[in-house]
Amino acid sequence: MSHTAKNLISNLSVDCVVFGFRNNRLEVLLIKRKRNPIKERWALPGGFILADETLDDAAIRILEETSNVKNIYLEQVHTFGAVNRFPARRVVTVAYFALIDPEKHSLKPGIDTTDAQWFNVTETKGMPFDHDDILNKALIQLRQSVRFKPIGFELLPIKFTLTHLQTLYESIIGMHLDKRNFRKKILKTGLLIPLEEFQKGVSHRAAQLYKFDLHKYKKLVKNDYSFQI
Amino acid sequence: MSHTAKNLISNLSVDCVVFGFRNNRLEVLLIKRKRNPIKERWALPGGFILADETLDDAAIRILEETSNVKNIYLEQVHTFGAVNRFPARRVVTVAYFALIDPEKHSLKPGIDTTDAQWFNVTETKGMPFDHDDILNKALIQLRQSVRFKPIGFELLPIKFTLTHLQTLYESIIGMHLDKRNFRKKILKTGLLIPLEEFQKGVSHRAAQLYKFDLHKYKKLVKNDYSFQI
DNA sequence: TCAAAAGTGTTTGCAATACACCCATGC
DNA sequence: GCATGGGTGTATTGCAAACACTTTTGA
């Protein structure tokens, strides 16, 4: 909110629901603001858009400014326009969800932000404005999207085990999956490349590492994601 | 655009892609404006939102004002925010799609509108602004939605034949469907109530009429549309 | 009696599900 | 040697897809 100098559009904001996979569960990134109206309360990272940037660009900039998060997968979710959703005046907000691998990003609070942390998605109730609704809608969309787009990969490190991937899917859709059936399906998509590498330092049989076939993925995107988990 | 008196928000608009099923194909409602910047060109019905109305309300009002269309199914599609999408100044627009039965609505051009007509979806290329993109995105979303939500019914009269319904589905998804398989699937959803009525005045065997089980539909909406065509 | 669309079942293949044991590793 | 998660195959079921003829009606 320190962009008056840069010609911001004061009735249009962007809010981002950043999902990350940490501690074997799905978490969401919240920040604390320095200033009112939500000084010292955990909330979704958000901000006003600038006169000369697109909505996507605004989302990217806001994430970088508030929490030092870059180079992410973004998807527009919904635009929230309840008349009184913002207390001071009419502000409509465009909600995005973003997916990142928390290991790749050290969270540094940025401009106008005092803190940035990961929270379990179930522990976020009571956020200001309509942020609870926004998170909810983003979660619903993530659950849909993950079945038709291989975006789950965005949340994992480059090399991962099949069990990692399965746990990720389970934590998104909130259901237990059968190990053998999951492996069959996910390998049949042809999007995984098995590596000649294995886990190290685990006190049980070391799992094989896989990476994601970026080339096939790009093709799939062009063909409208014609696959399903 | 005649609402300056009513405190409109001049950088936020709503555009509506209204689909109707006419002449056994999917059509879309376009209007002609009286004034610039798009005087006398066919375009999507749209307008600025008022300071005291939600986005959904704006969509409803705009459809009523421009084309006398009421009581419709609405779904938010996407928000378009390219910096130069509107020539004069920065305007971000929230796109909706709407479904109506054209028989139920006589199109009357309304405020600031000189004409309102139905067009085949394939004949609409060359609309002003980013309306081509908006239509495209709405069509994609309609195709997705129709498989998981029984919104196809919104496009039909109360009583209809199974062949009507099948033709509707075919025109939305753009593929031919097998008659027997379609009937099996659609009847298995339990959303159709067969009536003791038949077509009249047709020069071939009269088809049975069905109506839609509103009660079951409402339940389904609550349960997150857990069915699939 | 002809034309035009309505209505109706069965077979086949594939994909989803359910399910249990041995393997490798570190301690 | 024991605890821990890794890794693997088969049998069953249900759903999707392909497919053609008889019925009814109006002209």
Nearest CA in chain A to B148: A144
Q: Which residues of A touch B55 (CB under 8 A)?
A: 79, 81, 92
In angstroms, the separation between the Cα of residue B227 and the nearest Cα of chain A is 14
Contact flag B53-A90 (C-beta cutoff 8 Å): no
Indicate whether A229 belongs to any domain: no
Same domain, B140 and B186: no
Same domain, A158 and A142: no
* B57 Cβ nearer than 7 Å to chain D strand: no
Lowest mean pLDDT among B92-96, B150-154, B162-166: B150-154
Would the pLDDT of B136 be above 90?
yes
Nearest residue to D26, CA vs C1'? B203
Same domain, A68 and A8: yes
Average pLDDT over residues B39-47: 93
In angstroms, the separation between the Cα of residue A199 and the nearest Cα of chain B is 39
Lowest mean pLDDT among B4-8, B30-34, B200-204, B216-220: B4-8
Distance, CA of A178 to C1' of D7, in Å:
13
Same domain, B85 and B9: yes
- Separation between Cα atoms, residue A49 and residue A114, nearest integer Å: 21
Same domain, A10 and A23: yes
Secondary structure tally for chain B: helices H, strands E: 5, 9
pLDDT at site A217: 81
Q: What is the CATH number of the domain that holds A75?
A: 3.90.79.10
Nearest residue to C10, CA vs C1'? B180
pLDDT at site B4: 44
Distance, CA of B172 to C1' of D17, in Å:
21
Which portions of chain A are predicted below pLDDT 70?
1-5, 221-229
The nucleotide closest to B202 (CA, C1' atoms): D26
- pTM score over 0.75: yes
Q: Which residues of B touch A53 (CB under 8 A)?
A: 83
Distance, CA of B37 to C1' of D24, in Å:
57
Last residue of a domain, one of A148, A172, A189: A148
Indicate whether B228 belongs to any domain: no
**Residue B152: band (very low, low, confident or very high) from pLDDT cuts 50, 70, 90:** confident
Task: Judge whether B211 and B195 are in contact, CB under 8 Å.
Answer: yes
Contact flag B90-A51 (C-beta cutoff 8 Å): yes
Q: What is the CATH number of the domain that holds B194?
A: 1.10.10.10
Contact flag B79-A83 (C-beta cutoff 8 Å): no
pLDDT at site B105: 84
The helix (H) or strand (E) run that includes residue B55 is helix B55-67
Contact flag A79-B54 (C-beta cutoff 8 Å): no
Q: Which residues of A touch B9 (CB under 8 A)?
A: 11, 90
Question: Which residues pair with residue B14 across a beta bridge?
Answer: B47, B94
Question: How many domains does chain A fold into?
Answer: 2
Would the pLDDT of B143 be above 80?
yes
Would the pLDDT of B5 be above 60?
no
Would the pLDDT of B65 be above 80?
yes
Q: Which residues of A touch B52 (CB under 8 A)?
A: 83
Q: Which domain holds residue B18?
A: 4-148
Q: Which residues of B touch A54 (CB under 8 A)?
A: 81-83
* B9 Cβ nearer than 7 Å to chain C strand: no
pLDDT at site B207: 97
Contact flag B81-A55 (C-beta cutoff 8 Å): yes
3-state secondary structure of A227: coil
**Residue B40: band (very low, low, confident or very high) from pLDDT cuts 50, 70, 90:** confident
Q: Read off the pLDDT of residues B77-134 as tens digits, 9 standing for 90 and up.
A: 999 999 999 999 999 999 999 999 998 888 888 888 889 999 999 999 999 999 999 9
Same domain, B132 and B187: no
**Who among A56, A58, A82 is closest to B54 (CB)?**
A82
Last residue of a domain, one of A148, A176, A204: A148
Q: Phi and psi of B162, rounded to 5°?
A: -65, -30
Nucleotides on strand C with an atom closer than 7 A to protein CB? 3-10, 16-20, 23-27
* A184 Cβ nearer than 7 Å to chain C strand: yes
Task: Judge whether A81 and A166 are in contact, CB under 8 Å.
Answer: no
A219 CB burial (10 A radius; 0-12, 13-18, 19+): exposed
Does residue B217 or residue B140 have the better pLDDT? B140
Q: Which of B74, B79, B97, B224 to mutate to test binding with chain A, by most A CBs within 10 Å of its CB?
A: B79
Last residue of a domain, one of A120, A148, A176: A148
Same domain, A170 and A199: yes
Please report, rounded to a whole number, the percentage of residues in chain B having pLDDT higher than 70. 94
